[in-house]
A and B are shown apart, each in its own frame.
Chain A
Amino acid sequence: MIFLVAAISILITMCLALIRAMLGPTVFDRVLALNMFGTKTVLLICAICFLTERTDFLDLALLYSLMNFIGMVALLRFSHYTALDKEVSQ
Chain B
Amino acid sequence: MILTILTVVSWVLILSGAFFSIIGGIGIVRFPEFFSRLHGGGITDTMGAALIVLGLICLSPSILVAIKLMMILFFLLVTSPSSCHALSNSALAQGYWPELDNTGKSKNK
Contacts and interface: CB of A to CB of B under 8 A. Distances in A.
B83 A2 contact: no
B68 A58 contact: yes
Nearest to A89: B94
Given A17-B28, A80-B93, A73 B41 contact: no
Interface in B19-55: 19, 21-22, 24-26, 28-29, 34, 37-38, 41, 44-45, 48-49, 52-53, 55
Contact of A31 (B21, B24, B87): B87
A83 B96 CA distance: 13
B52 to A, nearest CB: 5
Contacts of A31: 87
B67 to A, nearest CB: 10
Interface in A1-37: 2-3, 5-6, 9-10, 12-13, 15-17, 19-20, 23, 26, 28-29, 31-33, 35-36
B59 A13 contact: no
A6 B14 contact: yes
Interface in B70-109: 71-72, 75-76, 79-80, 82-84, 86-87, 90-91, 93-96
Given A29-B37, A69-B79, A83 B25 contact: no
A89 to B, nearest CB: 9
Interface residues on A, range: 35 or more
7 contacts: A2-B55, A10-B18, A13-B21, A20-B28, A28-B90, A32-B28, A39-B49
Given A28-B94, A35-B45, A36-B24, 10 more contacts: A9-B19, A13-B24, A35-B41, A36-B44, A43-B48, A50-B59, A62-B72, A69-B83, A72-B83, A88-B94
